[in-house]
Amino acid sequence: MDSLQPQASRSGIDHSPGRACAPVAGSDWQALLGGPPLNGAELHALNQMVELRSLSAGAPVMQREQPALHLLAVLRGAVGLGQARHDQPFHLERTVRGPAWLDLSSAWLAQGFAQDARAQGEAQVLALPLAAMRTLLSHEALMLDRLMVGLSRTVQSLTGTAHDLMHKDAEKRLAAWLLQRAEGDTLLQLGERKRDIAAQLAITPETLSRMMRQLKLKGLIEVQGYSVSLLAPAALRQLAAD
């Protein structure tokens, strides 16, 4: 996908009035909002207000302290959340893969975004204007429940991450991360740099390399370049859960 960055706002989202775009599929809205299948009125209303952006690798999605006027989600690809400092590499803290929410809270709090975000590879991001969402919520009561499901999923995911950082050692966190990234498959293609993966796990790149070697020696994984084969997913799940 070609980057449309020249037309973008500082967030990387094109907020140009009346910009034409293909409707977001009902299955994608379902993944973001949960609940029973969206009815025709809900689907039409969401697609009337949604703003889509196709971004190239490294393109900004949101910036800290920038006024948050939209609810943001990644639809396709992956977006990294972290901190962007002047003249320094982007410090990645976690990666969100679509379809999933990037920021569902800042706009409601009338605050700036709490994190910076950049596209990791080609990505498609959607934005829902808060003002339009308020109008929709006034006559589509079920939509509020749907947003609460989306917010609850985000909170639950962050709570799980915080728990792992506090109670699991590096090897267990790495096992859980590999399983999550594989999404049920046994072959994982790593797209991030070693230091970015290490940052997500709150370890050093050297510790990451050592943990990968340990999992390999235990016969749990095989590594060839940027490909990781999960040789014993059940054993990895047991390790991650201990």
Comparing 52-66, 153-167, 201-215, which segment has the lowest mean pLDDT? Answer: 153-167
pLDDT at position 20:
40
pLDDT at position 201:
82
- The domain made up of 168-241 has a fold known as Arc Repressor Mutant, subunit A (1.10.10)
CATH architecture designation of domain 5-164: Sandwich (2.60)
pLDDT at position 8:
39
Residues 6+ apart with CB under 8 A from 166: none
pLDDT surpasses 80 at 164: no
Domain range list for the chain: 5-164, 168-241
Cα–Cα dist 185/40, whole Å: 34
CA distances from 1 to 22, 121, 203, 229 (A): 14, 10, 33, 29
pLDDT in tens, 86-127: 777 788 888 888 899 999 989 999 888 989 999 988 999 999
Q: Is the pLDDT higher at 131 or at 162?
A: 131
Q: How confident is the model at residue 225 (pLDDT cuts 50, 70, 90)?
A: confident
pLDDT surpasses 90 at 202: no
Cα–Cα dist 176/171, whole Å: 9
Angle at which helices 170-182 and 205-217 cross, to 10°: 80
Cα–Cα dist 204/191, whole Å: 18
pLDDT at position 32:
92
**Which residues are bridge partners to 95 per DSSP?**
80
Task: Answer whether 5-164 and 168-241 agree in fold.
Answer: no
pLDDT in tens, 8-59: 344 445 444 334 456 899 999 999 988 788 888 889 999 999 999 999 998 9
